[in-house]
A and B are shown apart, each in its own frame.
Chain A
Amino acid sequence: MKQRVYVGMSGGVDSSVSAALLLEQGYDVTGVYMKNWSRDLPGMQCPWAEDLADAKRVAVQLGIDFKVFDFEKEYRDKVVDYMLDEYRAGRTPNPDIMCNQEVKFRLFVDTALADGADLIATGHYARVRYSTQASLLTAKDKNKDQTYFLYRVTSGALAKTLFPLGDFTKPEVRDMAKKRNLWTAHKKESMGVCFVGNVGMREFLSEYITTHPGDIIEKESGKKLGRHDGAIFYTLGQRHGLNVGGGLPYYVVGKDMDKNEVYVSRNIHDEAMWRTEVPLSNIHWIGAAPANGEKVQARLRHRGALLAATLDGDILHLVSGERAVAPGQSAVLYRGEECLGGGIVVSASESSLSLS
């Protein structure tokens, strides 16, 4: 009896190739489009209908079953609202991480298994080691590795998951798509907020969060340098978009959401910009937690460098320090090629980010 795999098909080239590979490996494959977001924004048509059609075209090409799972309500509740709340609070969240945690590797897994699947699969660049407990490993393509987005997934979900692309590089995947003449072989990578297509985060947030203009203040002098149109749009370490005139660049070194003030500095060595101690919250481990003081590697952003680090309770110690670690972003820990899990960066205290 063939094992039944439900593969999440987004209409992109990666998940298309995943489905094709699984079929060639002898699985009984069903393609599933997860309908997470379909709202059009002003001046921007949500691409979901086209993505769905692309995914379905590939499924038809492969001659496999195809279903649509409607997760729109859950996605709005668990991913979009979380993201908006985080931005309102002045943090810099990562909606992809939340989407994987709540939708792709919880809701999708549960729904697929209840629908008769034995396993699920996606087009992520990552690998799973299946032993007594499933663990998450980085992809062969270190440049494409997506484990940063997957660190909040459970071992239980991984045990039911196949990542057919984990041992391939992106160029290899493109080639495989072209060789198989898949409809999506030449499709461009989506840009911007993943679920709304080619629209920037700023435009998206503007739709949902009422913002007010406020002051941009130089940290050292307390001098008002200019105006911003909403503190939520600024993230720690950001250099662009400060309309404060020429000379050396200014960097965001803090903001006060209550006062709606953004603090900037020309000092690239400002203490707020460089962190060696990073307190974490909402820590999640896929398997066992690393031992206190164990030498691990930490990654603070997707495709960011792997930094030598140790964890002491909830505090991540970075051996060499890291620039612009913003509250809300994730710190993901690795032991060699194994992704252990991680947590969400909190500011040492809210006040440390403001002048007062």
Chain B
Amino acid sequence: MNTDIIYCDHAAATPLDERVLMAMQPYFAEQFYNPSSPYAPAVRVRQAYRQAKHRLAMAIGGQADDIIMTAGATESINLIFGGVQGHVVTANIEHHAVLEAARRCDNFTTVAASSTGRVDPEAVARALRPDTVLVSIALANNELGTIQPLREIATVVQSERRRRAEAGESTPIYLHSDASQGVGQCDVTVARLGVDALTLNAGKIYGPKQVGLLWLAHHVRLDPLIVGGGQERGLRSGTENVAGAVGFAKALELAQAHRKSEVQRLASLRDTMQRVICAAIPQAIVSGDLQHRLAGHLHIAFPGVDAERLLFILETKGVLVATGSACAANKGTRSHVLTAIGLSPEVADGSVRISLGRLSTEENCHQAAEYIIAAAQQEYQRTGGYL
């Protein structure tokens, strides 16, 4: 990575870990065999693939057979939404992948998140209908970093399931969570989350892009999106991405091995940045729930400033951040998440998302904070805004 770059956008993409790259390397050219082929070299590749899935399963407390490998979280989400028939419930702050997939279902309800970006389990309970087959709430919001009360939402779904059993109703109901954002920083053991389906993405945890998985509990029944040779229990046909699966397994193991210390480190860096920036720019507003927040996330608004201008100033200093708002890159549309939690256009358009990760150090975070402060001050002075 370019040493002049101070990367503060780990929620968007992460660099491939060298150890992951090493693990994947043999499966491109040397061990290229089709895992379905009968001869011995291919059998060894099949075993490596099985082993990778087993390791992935171990990391989330599931079983290898319950994991469907996909080409990323978006596909996993499309598979679970496309595979059920009936009413679905999700939240208005979910990722576009979820919202667009929900829109294709027969019926869907979006639960409104609170002003801190939290989804109220009671609101989920109220949205349930007798024909609800799927509830999908992300473990952590990709923009705000807000961690959702999944355990409580699981209880809501569980009691609905119990009610149906007692009433003799046969409609199943599943709880799915896209944990792409939370995975390096939260416990993603499926039993502890209480989910029936879980989406993970390698690209967010220093693994390869276009590699993801959908874990499904035994009782979940889905129709496939992609049919063909019947791989992945018939739910996702196509020759297996062995290198991707091996890389994903390595990446997930590494993420989990360092999770606790990394969370502490990132939270400390993030808190310092937040304190320093807020002290220098008194009108700065931190968005999202402060208690239930991913350790590396800082979503901060400079009301009245055009965040995209900040982005362009910061990139000249090598500081790379995300904006959540009316950005040319997202075709001029304001973030639906920021609108959903009730931020005024002025605050939403002045919002910057800083997401720290392995490339973050005490030194570069300090440096980034200084640049961010200078850029915000420069813009406030240019526009004659109060400072």
Contact = CB atoms under 8 A, between A and B. Distances in A.
Contact of A60 (B313, B329, B331, B332): B313
B3 interface: no
A56 B382 contact: no
B378 to A, nearest CB: 8
A49 B309 contact: no
A61 B328 contact: no
B331 A49 contact: yes
B141 to A, nearest CB: 24
B291 interface: no
B329 A53 contact: yes
Majority DSSP secondary structure for residues of A touching B: helix
B161 to A, nearest CB: 44
Contacts of B309: 56, 60, 66
Contacts of A66: 306, 309
A65 B309 CA distance: 10
Contacts of B170: none
B327 to A, nearest CB: 8
B308 interface: yes
Interface residues of B, number: 13
A53 B382 contact: no
B312 interface: yes
Contacts of B316: 61
Interface in A38-72: 38, 49-50, 52-53, 56-57, 60-61, 63, 65-66, 68
Contacts of A56: 308-309, 312, 328
Interface size class of A (residues with CB under 8 A): 10 to 19
Interface in A168-184: none
B377 to A, nearest CB: 13
A238 B245 CA distance: 56
A113 to B, nearest CB: 22
B366 to A, nearest CB: 24
Contacts of B306: 66
Contacts of B328: 49-50, 52-53, 56
A57 B313 CA distance: 8
Interface string B296-329: 0000000000101100110010000000000011
A49 B332 contact: yes
B317 to A, nearest CB: 12
A68 B326 CA distance: 12
Majority DSSP secondary structure for residues of B touching A: helix
Given A56-B308, A63-B382, A49 B313 contact: no
Interface in A1-47: 38
A46 to B, nearest CB: 10
A53 B309 CA distance: 10
A61 B309 CA distance: 9
Interface in B337-387: 378, 382-383
Most chain-B Cβ atoms within 10 A of its Cβ — which of A38, A52, A68?
Answer: A52
A49 B331 CA distance: 6
Contact of A57 (B312, B378, B383): B312
A65 B384 CA distance: 12
B306 to A, nearest CB: 8
Interface string B156-173: 000000000000000000
Contacts of A60: 309, 312-313
Nearest to A35: B332
Contacts of A61: 312, 316
Most chain-A Cβ atoms within 10 A of its Cβ — which of B312, B328, B332?
Answer: B328
A193 to B, nearest CB: 20
A49 B308 CA distance: 13
Contacts of A50: 328
Contacts of B329: 49, 53
A40 to B, nearest CB: 10
A53 B382 CA distance: 20
Interface in A269-303: none
A63 B308 CA distance: 13
Contacts of B383: 65
Interface string A189-226: 00000000000000000000000000000000000000
B262 to A, nearest CB: 33
B331 to A, nearest CB: 5
A308 to B, nearest CB: 48
A56 B309 CA distance: 8
Nearest to A50: B328
Most chain-B Cβ atoms within 10 A of its Cβ — which of A50, A52, A57, A60?
Answer: A60
Nearest to A70: B332
Nearest to B308: A56
Contacts of B382: 63, 65
B117 to A, nearest CB: 27
Most chain-B Cβ atoms within 10 A of its Cβ — which of A50, A57, A63, A65?
Answer: A57
A61 to B, nearest CB: 7
Interface in A63-101: 63, 65-66, 68
A221 B312 CA distance: 65
A50 B329 CA distance: 7
A51 to B, nearest CB: 9
Interface in A298-330: none
A66 B382 CA distance: 12
Contacts of A52: 328, 332
B163 to A, nearest CB: 47
A68 B382 CA distance: 18
Nearest to B383: A65
Contacts of A49: 328-329, 331-332
8 contacts: A38-B331, A49-B328, A53-B328, A53-B329, A60-B309, A61-B312, A63-B382, A68-B332
The 5 closest A-B pairs by CB, nearest first: A53-B328, A60-B312, A52-B328, A57-B312, A60-B309
Interface of B: 306, 308-309, 312-313, 316, 328-329, 331-332, 378, 382-383
Given A38-B331, A60-B312, 19 more contacts: A49-B329, A49-B331, A49-B332, A50-B328, A52-B328, A52-B332, A53-B328, A56-B308, A56-B309, A56-B328, A57-B312, A60-B309, A60-B313, A61-B312, A61-B316, A63-B378, A63-B382, A65-B382, A65-B383
